[in-house]
């Protein structure tokens, strides 16, 4: 059991070292069997003492974390619906042979895919 805790600590430390300053992160990592881990980071170095210290990005991060924590099934279902909608939209664009970049952009995903190549 100690070994797994050490591996998780190492993974979390490596993850934190790769973050850029002045950002709010929510990182999800699949662990298999339809389960995941979630880590949230605030790299802004801000102190939250007064109402005006809470900027919109920090508030959205807190809200998203609360939604995931309290309404996981609903967030999951909405994710499935969003993926299905995007796939149907892409299929319709292909079938209609639409080449307008604005129409294509409208059905592309919200996530920027990054390819790190093969694992070392």
CA 19 to the chain's CA centroid = 14
Q: Give the global pTM.
A: 0.73
Q: Which residues of the chain have pLDDT under 70?
A: 1-5, 101, 103-110, 118-120
Whole-number pLDDT of residue 7: 79
Residue 31: partners with Cβ closer than 8 Å, 6 or more residues away? 37
The DSSP result for 61-92, as a single string, is: HHHHHHHHHH-HHHHHHHHHHHHHHHHHHHHH
Whole-number pLDDT of residue 4: 60
Whole-number pLDDT of residue 107: 63
Q: Which of 112, 88, 96, 26 is nearest to 61 (CA)?
A: 26
């Amino acid at each position: 059991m100690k070994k797994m805790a050490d591996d998780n600590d190492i993974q979390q430390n490596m993850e934190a070292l790769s973050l850029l300053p002045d950002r709010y992160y929510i990182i999800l990592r699949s662990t298999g069997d339809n389960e995941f881990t979630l880590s949230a980071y605030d790299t802004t170095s801000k102190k939250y003492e007064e109402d005006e210290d809470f900027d919109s990005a920090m508030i959205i991060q807190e809200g998203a974390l609360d939604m995931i924590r309290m309404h996981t099934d609903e967030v999951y279902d909405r994710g499935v619906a969003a993926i299905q909608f995007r796939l149907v939209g892409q299929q319709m664009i292909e079938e209609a042979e639409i080449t307008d970049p604005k129409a294509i952009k409208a059905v592309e995903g919200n996530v920027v895919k990054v390819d790190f190549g093969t694992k070392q």
